[in-house]
Amino acid sequence: MSQKSYDVTFTPEDQKRTHRLARVVAPPLRTVYRVFGRWVDENPHNIPQNGPAILAVYHASLLDPVFVALSLWSHGRMPRFMAKSPLFTGIIGRPMRALGQIPVLRNSASASDSLKYARKALDAGECVVIYPQGTLTKNPELWPENFKTGVARLALESGVPIVPVAHWGTSALMPPGAKKPALKPGNIVRISYGEPIDISGIELTRENLRAITNHVEAVIARDVARLSGKPLPERYTHALELSL
């Protein structure tokens, strides 16, 4: 599959098809992942029950998307993950395309298409999940860092609030660099859905994009600190207050 040949559509027929497939895939996947642990959701009322949604999610393990997807599905939302384009090829590529996920086309003339696909999903009332780091955290203590401004741009252009999502427990099952998950049936993954961050009416400037991005990163870091029991590093405290 070339980047140019792949398109993403969210017609009513597409939505019905992907929801049917998810209803088949989710139950056995949930059963399999109970072998590795279970998840507990905090404040799921912050997940919009319908209509467009943007979720900015902490990323510390290759298992994160599965737990987040199962969590969202259990609350009635079909997640549309923005994921790097190589995942849309090979064995895993077929289900990624069939489930209507969104390719992030990096370092190419088509890179801007990624946000266009996400905007199309929002226009169709979908739940778009973004990892603002773009990859697993490289921080040795697993703090979120180096968020890209794409989530802020998408929110400003669409007028859709950002729901910050933190979690803790997936890195115990499969830390960054691990080749396979560990069997820890008693492990609990806690997923926290923060209050939506409404940035409608804010001017789209480079400075505002960075300020919003830093704020989202700090809010997620604060919730990671709470879930993990670790003190929040001082570098995040200033950005917890969004002042533009």
d(CA 22, CA 25): 5
Whole-Å CA distances, 132 to 27, 93, 138, 149, 202: 28, 22, 13, 7, 20
The average pLDDT across 19-33 equals 76
d(CA 227, CA 125): 30
Instruction: List the structure tokens of 28.
Output: 């056995």
Average pLDDT score, the chain: 86
The average pLDDT across 184-193 equals 87
Contact between 185 and 37 (Cβ < 8 Å): yes
Q: Is the pTM for the entire model greater than 0.85? A: yes
Note the pLDDT of residue 1: 44
Q: Which of 13-27, 76-90, 93-107, 121-135 has the lowest mean pLDDT?
A: 93-107
Summarised one tens digit per residue, pLDDT across range 108-130 is 555 566 788 899 999 999 999 99
DSSP-derived letter for residue 75 is T
DSSP-derived letter for residue 232 is P
89, exposed or middle or buried, with CB in 10 Å at 0-12, 13-18, 19+? middle
Note the pLDDT of residue 2: 47
Backbone angles phi, psi at 208, to 5 degrees: -70, -40
pLDDT at 96 over 70: no
Note the pLDDT of residue 20: 82
Q: From 143, 163, 165, select the one nearest 154 (Cα to Cα).
A: 163
The average pLDDT across 66-76 equals 92
Indicate the SS3 state at residue 191. strand
Note the pLDDT of residue 6: 61
Note the pLDDT of residue 87: 61
Instruction: List the structure tokens of 223.
Output: 């919730």
pLDDT at 162 over 50: yes
How sure is the predictor about 45, in pLDDT bands with cuts at 50, 70 and 90?
very high
Say which residue the tokens 């395309």 belong to: 97
- CATH placement of domain 12-172+189-241: 3.40.1130
Summarised one tens digit per residue, pLDDT across range 200-215 is 899 999 999 999 999 9
124 or 177, which is more confident?
A: 124
pLDDT at 98 over 70: no
The average pLDDT across 235-241 equals 93
